[in-house]
Structure 1
């Protein structure tokens, strides 16, 4: 039944040699890896206006030079990540760059920040899209959490079906959103050029504004820079591209940068020229669309595609999180389970963990994650800063031909990214302080996991000097709950192994029942020694564990090994297991941790 449901949801398993068919071309990669960055156009310009509005609407003209500064940062980031793609073609992005050039801890800070940030990407994107939907249909507002969880489950299943299949489905809404905004910007500019928009709606550029300060401008710049989240995703996901992967990834990155620059600039300019003021109830994009088209089909088309891409921006996390996890797992900083490919050749464990973590975050914050956006943004700009700094060190150390322009680009990016990170820490400290706690904890856990893997490797390696223990014989203990075919089957198996000694152990709760069992046993299995243990507190585990410890202590003195052989019957149907006590499972669980005790199970399959 489970296999049938799995096949229905995920599809047939793919053979390993079909991996090449699961690679992305540039068109599909641009859609699924750029959705986070492109969707931020819907709220990035608004973040600038929200800060400037604290002074007055007359300060809105500052959004133009602020947007220019953000475009400079975008250019530096795009050029830098293009260099990273060619320098580190196996993916990993900021984690690999920082680890290679700035040291292990810097790499772990970048990697840990991005892992958490991709979880936030999913939770914030889905919650934002859900808000857009429930704003259009207020009757659904009470079901925000349920709707958001449904979206996460849908996107998770879609990604479990494979990269190409999810890209085929999700690319259409992304390109529809791009088309909608291009139409909005083109028509808006046309109306401005033809005099359809009054120049009295905005304050002329250069108008003096009382109360404006460098701090306010820097804060607006930092807030608007949230539009750049997701720029790093392509450098993390290079292995998902068709060959030549680095070249295709670099072209996709440049296309994403160009689209993001055009859309961001267009929305900022229209918002300024139209004199749009930020509102809690209506987004800036919605106001621009209404002023341009009125409330007609085009308006609702723009709003619909905007809501859709906000939800689908979560897919960037699903594309980048598993591949970043693979790089960390290869270096043994997180569990090896993240290295395993699923039935559809995707890293399904990473996809599932991301989905579960996002759902927990949505539940914890009731799908209202606005106060997580600063944490989400700083989680990106910290790796931005580290990756840019890492590339600076790389160029200074290697000094290849033509390294100076690259160094200048990275220095510019590092300086601006650090400034944005610092501004977020200062101005949004009440919202971003958790990063100062969870990042050290994450880095500590990374080191503990790697230490464990190293210890395991040292102990398992044949190169170690540890001499093997010589085993002279075997003492077999068989816990019995009665005289049944299950016990008989186990005893026959144990006898076939010809051990040095067989001890059957019965735990009794009643003295009279203990005597009766001993008498029947002598008749049924006279050649097998029986030991009965009386349990004062009706526990099977404790008396049995103490007895095994005593036998093991005596046996180890003569280099004998103790093996506990547990009889277990297997019901014909899986759900029948819930009708039984599962004592054998409990015994096995407790005894597995006894250092010198071997635990084995002999199954007896029921036919009815």
Structure 2
């Protein structure tokens, strides 16, 4: 197993090599912006899917809707830039909400983001798989299997460390940006040169029967799914090279500019070329086919789109472990999430994210359209809370220039709130799980925190606590299965402890076996008292634990300590363990929860 682990994730790194794992702006843009940039592959499509419920004549509304999305993007970028400098240690929406709005709003933001990052992986990989099967329809029935394989590969890549995954990811991300820019440039060139008929689309301003503000807001909220992932950089500031806040802010600005150009360009080409959403072919695929035809460039666009959609999952792998660290430090989730792995990454967070994402992909059968609304509402709740938290911060502190900052955050909070409400109003059958899992997650956070507080109270040394009773003596109970070297080894150890009494306990299943063993014991160690507990129902645990409880009750009256010594032989090879009953492990597992009983395992190592 060790050799397989080394092959997959590499040799361990020393703690003082942590600085080598920090990201420069070029790599950070690739690893932390891939989610936001990849969402342009399905964000514009979500707008058209709403507008087509009226008719294709309504597609011209995608232009003003896209402008609205860009306004929201600008507000979010400016706001998260402020968060980066205000909270340079990372944590994003969770830390902002907790410090300015209170513990429970912080937990709502943190819980939403944890689930959102799981959805990031599931949505990204599912969308990437859709892009592959759009180009190769014969693979459509293998969507789930392909998606799970990709999650396993990305999880392994991230276990190798931040810099290795960033070095690998940078190429497909920048190739995708190049491919889309080439597609947009060629598409615009063909329009300006007159190669594209002007009757493919409805002119802007054409009246459309049945249009309503509600429908437009629904399309706007759907298109805003292209903004998911914008918050990832503010969560992952600790991953940047020094000066981390400055580098994070510059990376955020670069991401915002790229996202704005790609999103608006795809929306415009989809409108001008009269692209209609198709269940089996993505909008980007249709645009590329219209612009290039089915040639090398079409497959280049499809290939890079599929790659970035799949590798956009890496944003989740970058942000989820760091958010988990902040929650774990506050004792809301298990402390294991604060532990760095062999490659200095938070491997427990990475593994948990991979496993949960696979479960989600299988549960939803890899259908991206079912995941996107849940994914989007999960990120707009933290958007709203973080913007509101920053509003409270500026109102309380009133630093220099706070009015302009307040306006930016107020704008972002208001639009994010509207988008969140529209998701609940228009896609309730798809987003209602948020209303179930968020309270459950907060309850889980609360119970974990209470557990840690209770443990701390019980472990803390305090002079006001009663002194423990003095131990007057020791009674040793030794479960024995036979007359073997394992038992002999354990008996010698028991005798070395100078116990007041040693009791060997044997649990036979047949009366004949009971008599035979008693005769053998008299010859083996007659000086050690033997108790046989006949078990007609062939249970070792029940009669043994009942006997130990009886001895412990009588021993406690005289302030005697009961110690159970469990003999255990250790096979030379690990896989040999599956060939044995492992009774010693079962005995120890049951006795661990007995109060005032000490359990000691005496191993006997086999040589062959």
Question: Under TM normalisation by the shorter chain, which class is it?
Answer: over 0.9
Aligned to 1:531: 531
Shift of 1:430: 0.7
Aligned to 1:361: 360
Aligned to 1:481: 481
Distance 2:552 2:270 in 1: 79
Aligned to 1:564: 564
Aligned to 1:596: 596
Distance 2:270 2:509 in 1: 81
Distance 1:279 1:567 in 2: 67
- 1:74 is paired with a residue of what secondary structure? helix
Distance 2:134 2:75 in 1: 37
Q: How is 1:323-338 mapped onto 2 (pairs within 5 angstroms)? A: 323-338=322-337
- Verify the 8 A CA contact 2:124 2:313 in the aligned structure 1: yes
The 1:518–1:243 alpha-carbon spacing in structure 2 relative to 1, beyond 3 Å, is same
Are 1:548 and 2:548 an aligned pair? yes
Aligned to 2:292: 293
Shift of 1:550: 0.7
Give the number of equivalent residue pairs.
607
Aligned to 2:7: 8
Aligned to 2:509: 509
1:500-525 CA distance string (max 9 Å, x none): 11111111222232222222222221
- Verify the 8 A CA contact 1:78 1:253 in the aligned structure 2: yes
| TM-score calculated relative to the size of structure 1 | 0.98
- 2:90 is paired with a residue of what secondary structure? coil
- 2:598 is paired with a residue of what secondary structure? strand
Aligned to 1:308: 307
- Verify the 8 A CA contact 1:325 1:334 in the aligned structure 2: yes
Shift of 1:559: 1.3
Aligned to 2:409: 410
1:510-548 CA distance string (max 9 Å, x none): 223222222222222122111111112111111110110
- 2:468 is paired with a residue of what secondary structure? coil
Shift of 1:101: 0.6
Q: How is 1:154-553 mapped onto 2 (pairs within 5 angstroms)? A: 154-463=153-462, 465-466=464-465, 467-553=467-553
- 2:564 is paired with a residue of what secondary structure? strand
Q: How is 1:134-173 mapped onto 2 (pairs within 5 angstroms)? A: 134-173=133-172
- Verify the 8 A CA contact 2:364 2:371 in the aligned structure 1: no
Distance 2:195 2:512 in 1: 101
Between 47-56 and 308-317, the greater mean CA deviation after superposition: 47-56
Shift of 1:444: 0.4
Distance 1:90 1:439 in 2: 25
Distance 1:371 1:314 in 2: 17
| TM-score calculated relative to the size of structure 2 | 0.98
Q: How is 1:77-116 mapped onto 2 (pairs within 5 angstroms)? A: 77-116=76-115
Distance 1:61 1:500 in 2: 91
- 1:502 is paired with a residue of what secondary structure? strand
Shift of 1:198: 2.9
Distance 1:540 1:588 in 2: 12
Between 269-278 and 463-472, the greater mean CA deviation after superposition: 463-472
- Verify the 8 A CA contact 2:132 2:302 in the aligned structure 1: no
Distance 1:19 1:71 in 2: 37
Distance 1:563 1:331 in 2: 37
- Verify the 8 A CA contact 1:555 1:562 in the aligned structure 2: yes
Shift of 1:407: 0.4
The 1:214–1:464 alpha-carbon spacing in structure 2 relative to 1, beyond 3 Å, is farther
- 1:489 is paired with a residue of what secondary structure? helix
Distance 1:147 1:451 in 2: 41
Distance 2:415 2:589 in 1: 55
- Verify the 8 A CA contact 1:97 1:390 in the aligned structure 2: yes
Distance 2:321 2:418 in 1: 30
Distance 1:464 1:147 in 2: 61
- Superposed CA RMSD: 1.2
- 1:508 is paired with a residue of what secondary structure? coil
Distance 1:464 1:11 in 2: 49
Aligned to 2:54: 55
- 1:468 is paired with a residue of what secondary structure? coil
Distance 2:257 2:196 in 1: 27
- Verify the 8 A CA contact 2:135 2:299 in the aligned structure 1: no
- 2:567 is paired with a residue of what secondary structure? strand
- 2:533 is paired with a residue of what secondary structure? strand
Aligned to 2:583: 583
- Verify the 8 A CA contact 1:458 1:464 in the aligned structure 2: no
1:332-368 CA distance string (max 9 Å, x none): 0000010110000000000001111111111222222
Distance 2:512 2:283 in 1: 83
Shift of 1:464: 6.1
Distance 1:605 1:186 in 2: 71
Shift of 1:370: 1.8
- Verify the 8 A CA contact 1:95 1:108 in the aligned structure 2: yes
Distance 2:264 2:139 in 1: 34
1:271-330 CA distance string (max 9 Å, x none): 222222222233222222222222221121111111111111111111111111000000
Distance 1:556 1:310 in 2: 65
- Verify the 8 A CA contact 2:134 2:282 in the aligned structure 1: no
Between 355-364 and 409-418, the greater mean CA deviation after superposition: 355-364
The 1:78–1:330 alpha-carbon spacing in structure 2 relative to 1, beyond 3 Å, is same
- 1:534 is paired with a residue of what secondary structure? coil
Are 1:43 and 2:42 an aligned pair? yes
1:399-426 CA distance string (max 9 Å, x none): 1000111100000000000000000000
Between 462-471 and 222-231, the greater mean CA deviation after superposition: 462-471
- Unmatched segments (≥5 aa) in structure 1: none
